[in-house]
Amino acid sequence: MKYRLLCCLCLGAMLLTGCSAKKTESEPTQIPVYEALPLPDIKLDIPEGYEATSSELCEKFYVKDDASIIITEDKNGPFDSTYDYSITALKQYQQVATTVEVLSNEAFDCVNAPLQTLEFRYTLGDNAEADMTVLAGYVTDGDSMFIVTCKSNTSTYAQHRDEFFTVMHSLMLTTTGYGS
């Protein structure tokens, strides 16, 4: 039951995430990517090695080892603030997870729209049966909120972090008034 609730929470958080984050002190390494069109209104680059798959909860997402990249859309707009949406998503995690630690919550410009990124760690269970770190990006065209959720086990997150930021920095809206 907790696992199912966590999956729903992850999907909800993904709906609240979206684009790229501020560059950290070191530039991300060059990561080979391919372009993905997971939803008709956005496109982004998925790093090589990630395979497209699906589940009962998500039509299409990408996995590599213990890492995943999930793209979702919340069509219940209008949306004015990606920051407010990210805080709402964080509160959803806090209701379900045993612990939640915010690592960063920053606004950036992705290719053609403002992006809010939320990086955080959460655990489930008293003995931290699940210990995950998430980079979620939120971008809106005003009517829809697009959420890109990149996550892996905390023990391997550092191995995937540059790839996750590459995904965020590549996000582009293709809806009217945005992108090409």
Q: How would residue 46 be classed by pLDDT, with cut points 50, 70 and 90? A: very high
Tokens 């540059």 label which residue?
Answer: 162
Integer angstrom CA distances of residue 166 from 7, 97, 161: 24, 27, 9
What tens digit of pLDDT does each residue of 61-120 get?
999 999 999 998 898 888 889 999 999 999 999 999 999 999 999 998 877 888 999 999
Give the pLDDT confidence score for residue 80 in this predicted structure.
84
pLDDT computed for residue 77 by the predictor:
84
Length of the chain, in residues = 180
Which pTM was predicted?
0.75
Q: Is the pLDDT of residue 57 over 70?
A: yes
Architecture of the domain defined by 2-173: 3-Layer(aba) Sandwich (3.40)
Q: What is the pLDDT of residues 140-175, one digit of tens each?
A: 888 889 999 999 999 999 999 999 999 999 988 886
Q: What is the pLDDT at residue 39?
A: 60
Predicted pLDDT at 37: 44
Spatial strand order of the sheet with 33-39 comes to 33-39, 42-47, 172-173
Question: What pLDDT is recorded for position 31?
Answer: 41
> Which pLDDT score is estimated for 18?
37
